[in-house]
Amino acid sequence: MREVAIVGSGMTKFGELWDMSLRDLFVEAALGAMKSAGVDSIDSIYIGNMSAGQFVGQEHLGPLMADHLGVAGVPATRVESACASGGMALRSAYLEVASGMSDLVLASGVEKMNDGADVTGVLATASDQEQEVYYGVTFPGLYALIARAHMEKYGTTEEDMSWVSVKAHRNGAKNPHAQFRRVMSLEDVMTSSMVAEPLRLLHCSPVTDGGAALLLCPLDRAHEFTDRPVKILASGAATSTLALADRADPADLDVVDLSGKRAYEMAGLTPEDIDVAEVHDCFAIAEICCYEALGFVERGKGKDAAREGITDLGGRIPVNVSGGLKSKGHPVGATGIAQAVTIIEQLRGEGGEVQVEGANIGLAQNLGGSGASSVVHIFQGV
């Protein structure tokens, strides 16, 4: 396999973007990535997207997006793994460049969620229709079941989860792309309305429109396009059961554990080597599970990390300096790419107000469903 670098990135503002369509979001992010690398042609496109078919009634995104980007003719295809679609699109692009098949490949993610669809119903299709949705469970409900199992097993509390949301908003307030650029107090979080016990509204990521894109090429060509390439050290992916009831233990996201181990092994690194990370905090409990599954803290200690500042800016391992899905927003198919965009900026020293001093190795973890699919990428500034 060839070594692969990321040489360009772009993303839209995240939020309720009533003036932008699905294709507008893609085109803005893709042009941003191409412009930042100074290229006007590409060899291939991957589009991470969970559910354009249900959100806006549009399937067959490959040719649509290639056409609107003005590059009709290139191979282009959609990659779907629910909320991990973006991360899986990046993996697909990485494999295509690493294999030698193509040189310049666009890895993108896009989701248009605010166009009138029944969002709760659409998101629930990432879980088991026959065994879960049929009986009335919602997506927050599934993570609430994980949260209560985690509380039973490790003594995690509602306050522990709330500190994760407080941290997210403190970081997101500094991110110009974020949907909710405002600080939230512990009291704000703990008095917000109940969604699915024990999860409150401010433990949940919002409904978001957005797009993000990365341009990949062989490492040995990277300096044709940028002075500050970022190398992809590893890509680790895994699956677990779709239905939560079929998991060995609903308290642990075993799929994150497995995808992380694969990535660490491929990179020849350990959790201690990671300088900055973006993890999939679709709900506050997921971030706590990810701390443990990725080895940032011992199992059972995830509950203390945000409160003690371990994962804050300036902490031992800063996590979600972008504001995470909670504050930045969660356009499901775009999230995996947007996480990587944040890490790329950090490793290039372009993190602005939330730059982690001397960051050289970064990790992005993207989760699908209630923990049924996960993909982890590790990057290094070169």
Least Cβ distance, residue 133 to other proteins (angstroms): 8
Give the active site residue among 169, 177, 203, 330: 330
Q: How many CB atoms lie within 10 A of CB 173?
A: 17
> Closer CB to other proteins, residue 140 or residue 323?
140
Dist CA 329 CA 209 (whole Å): 8
Rounded to 5°, the CA angle 87-302-361 comes to 45
Using DSSP's 3-state secondary structure scheme, residue 25 falls into helix
Is residue 289 annotated as part of the catalytic site, yes or no?
no
Considering just the CA atoms, what is the radius of gyration of the chain in Å?
19
Least Cβ distance, residue 157 to other proteins (angstroms): 15
Residue 175 in tokens = 């991110």
> Closer CB to other proteins, residue 177 or residue 203?
203
Least Cβ distance, residue 160 to other proteins (angstroms): 17
**Residue 237 amino acid letter:** A
Using DSSP's 3-state secondary structure scheme, residue 80 falls into coil
Sign of CA dihedral 220, 359, 334, 142: positive
DSSP assignment letter at 221? G
> Closer CB to other proteins, residue 285 or residue 367?
285
> Closer CB to other proteins, residue 120 or residue 270?
120
Dist CA 237 CA 256 (whole Å): 9
10 Å CB burial of residue 314 (0-12, 13-18, 19+) is exposed
Dist CA 230 CA 227 (whole Å): 10
Residue 141 in tokens = 């409900």
Enumerate binding residues for other proteins (CB under 8 A).
118, 120-121, 124, 130-138, 140-141, 144-149, 152, 193-199, 241, 243-246, 250-251
> Closer CB to other proteins, residue 120 or residue 191?
120
> Closer CB to other proteins, residue 94 or residue 154?
154
Least Cβ distance, residue 79 to other proteins (angstroms): 26
Least Cβ distance, residue 247 to other proteins (angstroms): 9
Contact 283, 204 (CB under 8 A): yes
Using DSSP's 3-state secondary structure scheme, residue 59 falls into coil
Token pair 């947007």 in the structure block, residue: 338
Least Cβ distance, residue 258 to other proteins (angstroms): 15
Give the active site residue among 68, 83, 177, 280: 83
Is residue 83 annotated as part of the catalytic site, yes or no?
yes
**Residue positions annotated with a catalytic role:** 83, 330
